[in-house]
Structure formats: structure tokens, C-alpha cells
Amino acid sequence: LGQLGSGSITPSSIANAVSGISGQTLEIASGDATVCAMSAINLGDAEANHIVSCWGAGTSGQLGDGASLDRAIPIRVPSIASPTAIQLSLGNQHTCLLFAGPPDGTSSFGCFGANGSGQLADGTTLPRSTFAPSTLSAVAGASRIFAGHDVTCGQTAEGTGCIGGGSLFSFEEVLGPRT
């Protein structure tokens, strides 16, 4: 499916260089057959921007490029060029990104890909092949995100809440109302 990122779909027992990732790689995460990398590039302004590139299986939209195709080389996720992207997490067929917020400590995340169990945390069970922030207000302030098979969890000051996994509980139902 191309998850080696070398341009080939042939399995290899020898390490291959991943081509096409710009800048300094900050983080790499992998799901079932998808890999994403976050890298920093300097676009001439004071801060480096963080970009996300994904490759491998993409038939559920988990590459975030608006298509539902497998890719054997990294493809940049459009609409992700922010110095505040801080974490990647990949599930079986979905990808999630965590963003640092303003100085008040709030943060946000968003996901794309398969959503049959509601794991994109957007209040639907419809798949999405492009990035969009989560619409659940209870996730504001998440410090870490974790994507699993068909579940996404967020760690907040109040505790940990999960959505998906065959249940459509919201973060509010798991964590309780914010005070």
C-alpha cells in the first residue's frame, strides 16, 4: 500500500529512505497501513511552520488530502501549516492532530478518515478525507490525544475521555460536564 514511503509498494527487508518530507522531522506516527510525519519548515517568518505529510493506505480518507487513494510517497496534508500543531496520532483508518492553543491553555484537535463509530469526534459517523477541527467543546484543553482501532481519546485536566469504539458517547458523557 506504500507505507514505506519510498515510492514502491513492494515489501522490503532493507530500510528505505522516505522521500518528499520537507524540513526537520519532529514526529512520526503510524496506523494500520498509514504513516504520517510532522515537520518544521521555515517560510521566512519568525517561527517555523509545522506541516504534516502522510502516505500509505488512504482509501478511507486517512491521508487527509481530499482523496481516498493509497499513496506510495508522502503527500502534504492541505490546510495544516501552523506553528501550533503539536501531536499526531493514527488509528486503524483515521488520523488525528492536536494543536496548542493561545496562552490561556486551551487546545484543539481534529481528525480525518473512517468514522463509522464516531471516532472523528465531529458529532457524525460520516467519513471525512480533509482536516476539520473537532466540534466537541469538552475537548478544549486536551493535552494529549490517542487514536486506536475505531476510537479517539483525549486527556484533559478533568481526566480522559474517549469517543467511538462502537459507542457514540460524547466527551461530555464520559468526563461529565465542565465546570
Over the stretch 94-134, which tens digit does the pLDDT of each residue have? 999 988 765 555 567 889 999 999 898 888 899 999 887 77
10 Å Cβ neighbour count for 95? Answer: 30
**Given the C-alpha cell 487513494, which residue does it identify?**
69
- Above 80 in pLDDT, residue 67? yes
The Cα-based distances of 129 to 2, 42, 54, 167 in angstroms read: 18, 27, 12, 22
DSSP state of 167: B
Strand residue runs (E) in 83-169: 85-90, 94-100, 107-113, 144-147, 151-156, 159-164
Residue 176: band (very low, low, confident or very high) from pLDDT cuts 50, 70, 90: very low
